[in-house]
Chains A and B, each alone.
Chain A
Amino acid sequence: MAVTLEDVKRVANLARIEISNDEANTTLDQITGIFSLIEQMELVDTSKIAPMSHAQGVEQRLRKDEVTEIDQHKLFQLQAPKTEAKLYLVPKVIE
């Protein structure tokens, strides 16, 4: 499953990261090296093993559906690049 230059450009687009041709080539070289290490995973038969995400096998905790946070939009929006009328402003999407 060799990574190709097209793959690099495709995932860069998916991840919303701009990448020039030169950068894509360098990235491909580095990623190819890393994947040669990652491919070692294929050598082990894992057909009878369950995936593990948490060492203690913790299940998602559920809580009551009730309000636990207070409204702090003024404080939080101090960090926003652009706001108006309590909303975050971004370029217009729908004409």
Chain B
Amino acid sequence: MFNSSLNQLSTLLATKRVSSIELTRDFLRNIKSLNKEYNAFITVNEEMSLDQARIADAMIASGEGSPLTGIPIAHKDIFCTKGWLTTCGSKMLSNFISPYDAHVIELFNKAGTVNIGKTNMDEFAMGSSNETSFYGPVKNPWDILSVPGGSSGGSACAVAARMAPAATGTDTGGSIRQPASLCGVSGIKPTYGLVSRYGMIAFASSLDQGGPIAKSAADLALMLNVMVGFDARDSTSLQHENEDYTRELKGPIEGLRIGLPKEYFAEGLSDDVSRAVDAAVAEYSKLGAKIIEVSLPNTKLSIPVYYVLAPAEASSNLSRFDGVRYGHRSEEYNNLDDMYLKSRTQGFGAEVKRRILIGTYVLSHGYYDAYYIKAQKLRRLIAQDFTGVFKQCDVIMGPTSPSVAFSLGERSNDPLQMYLSDAYTAAASLAGLPGMSIPVGFGKKNRPVGLHIIGNYFAEAKILSIAHQFQQVTDWHTKMPDIKKF
């Protein structure tokens, strides 16, 4: 059961061989026995999950079910979920019971899925290791001495350790793809604007994008079918015609042109990651793909540009946390200004403060053009690199992360090293392109390696198919960590 695909679970539910209540209880039991060790969930609420399971069973009984009805899904604690504690991994929101649902949550509720719990994450999604969470770090189930990646580390861990069949995440500079890679699971960040940001607590609004993490590309396609949709409440939501993301899964690899950017295989890439990625590319070649070397010359600018734009937008977004309408308010203060100062100083952790300060600096008087506007111009150059390359190839591949999971604490005092974890993922975020990561082997200390697949705008169905074809002839995605027996 725990290794079943979403399709298999869907069939079991539809043919009434298992009820949603039973399935939900099984996964809740897993969470209970494993979460102490992994810390993947911030909130679990059995009663509310089982209420949803009852509704799902009724939907199935009356023939109103859809493919994911009755299936437990874990939600990153960045999605506002009505009646649930929604913390965004921060002390600032450690008392926030959301009075409304994010659009993504509304869509999953409408599909009749069961919220199995809210997953741990880097505070306000700022981090690449899940170590900045107010609720403590998540452990990587493949090696509990290593990080799960971040910021959607709890979601990736929950799927890898079979505490949930699938999960939601968000990706601003790599926060779905990098943890998926480090935890040996699959994840996709769609084209910017496809998944509504309404009720998704804002980090960097021009980059934030929701997406799923699951065990396979086929499962991701089913999740995207639920998550994607226009929403007028998100000012950058795209009015894109609804697609069935499973429609191309069977498509052939024969004749596919895969571009390997030489910049993604240059200095900084670990040998173990390089070997696993090369082997995956060789497998594609065997399936009939044509491998082409391409160049994305502005790749090295993506981290500098990202670390101007994201903190700038974050400093603006996080100014709403002032202790007035919701969230943490200091117990003691002398006046209004002091209340803001103390509430924010107590409510935010070190990394969030650091990014607010960087953001405030680059937006401050006299620096706006030199930093923010300059970064936005370079962002266009980075996007143009991709436009050029997609004339030569259909899809881009490379490593998702320069190394396998690093050890807990290894980079937590060195923000610069931590930021370089996003070296390959940030560019696709800046360009607004869809990107995904699938497991393709193991590196040092048996820690997983992910293959990064970047598609052109709205090419989600195509890259899912490319990943699915690989998963038909290999079994990396079926490997699971050696976790305690249930």
List residues 60-84 of chain A with CB under 8 A from any CB of chain B.
60-61, 63, 72, 75-76, 78-82
List A contacts of B232 (CB < 8 A): 61, 63
A85 within 8 Å of B by Cβ? no
**Known contacts A16-B341, A17-B356, A41-B301; is-contact A80 B326 (Cβ 8 Å):** yes
Shortest Cβ distance from residue B444 to the other chain A in the assembled complex, whole angstroms: 26
Residues of A within 8 Å of B348, CB to CB, are 17
Whether the pair B376, A40 counts as a contact (CB closer than 8 A) is no
Tell me whether A15 and B360 are in contact (CB under 8 A).
Answer: yes
Which chain B residue shows the least CB distance to A11?
A: B360
Contact across chains for A81 and B304 when beta carbons are under 8 A apart: no
- Answer yes or no: B325 CB below 8 A from chain A CBs: yes
Indicate if A5 sits at the interface (CB-CB under 8 A): no
In contact, A75 and B99 (Cβ under 8 angstroms): yes
Q: Which of B334, B338, B360, B370 contacts A14 (CB 8 A)?
A: B360
**Chain A: interface residue total (CB-CB under 8 A):** 50
In the bound complex, residues from chain B placing their C-beta under 8 Å from that of A53 are 206, 376
B192 at the interface (CB under 8 A from A): yes
Query: Interface size bucket, B side?
Result: 35 or more
Work out how many contacts link A and B, with CB atoms closer than 8 A: 159
CA distance A34 to B238 in the complex (A): 34
Pair A93/B336 contact, Cβ less than 8 Å? yes
Whether B335 contacts A40 by the Cβ 8 Å rule is no
Q: Is the CB of B432 within 8 A of A56?
A: yes
Name the residue of chain A whose CB is nearest to the CB of B82: A75
Residue of A nearest to B379 (CB): A52
Enumerate B76-134 residues with CB–CB distance to A below 8 Å. 95-97, 99
| Residues of B379-434 whose CB lies within 8 A of A | 379-381, 383, 415-416, 419, 431-433
Do residues A51 and B339 form an inter-chain contact, with CB atoms below 8 A?
no
Query: Is B326 a contact of A79 with CB atoms below 8 Å?
Result: yes
List residues of B (228-268) whose CB comes within 8 Å of A's CBs: 232, 235-236, 238
Residue B373 lies at the interface, judged by CB distance under 8 Å to chain A? yes
Contacts of B305 on A, CB cut-off 8 Å?
A: 41
Complex CA–CA separation, A3 to B379 (angstroms): 23
Measured CB to CB, the closest approach of chain B to A14, in angstroms, equals 5
Decide: A51 and B304 in contact? CB cutoff 8 A: no
> How far does the alpha carbon of A82 sit from the alpha carbon of B305 in the complex, in Å?
40
Q: Return the contact of A79 from the options B96, B353, B367 (Cβ within 8 A).
A: B96
Contact B376 A54 (CB under 8 A): no
What CA separation (Å) do A11 and B372 show in the bound complex?
Answer: 16
The list of the 6 closest CB pairs from A to B, nearest first, reads A55-B432, A51-B376, A52-B380, A46-B377, A81-B329, A79-B326
A to B CB contacts below 8 Å, 5 in the list: A18-B345, A34-B419, A38-B304, A92-B336, A93-B335
List A residues at the B interface (Cβ < 8 Å).
1, 3, 7-8, 10-12, 14-18, 27, 30-31, 33-34, 37-42, 44, 46, 49-56, 58, 60-61, 63, 72, 75-76, 78-82, 88, 90-93
With A14-B360, A52-B383 given, can you name 14 additional A-B contacts, CB distance below 8 Å?
A1-B370, A10-B364, A15-B357, A17-B345, A17-B356, A33-B416, A37-B416, A38-B371, A46-B374, A46-B381, A51-B379, A51-B380, A52-B377, A88-B324
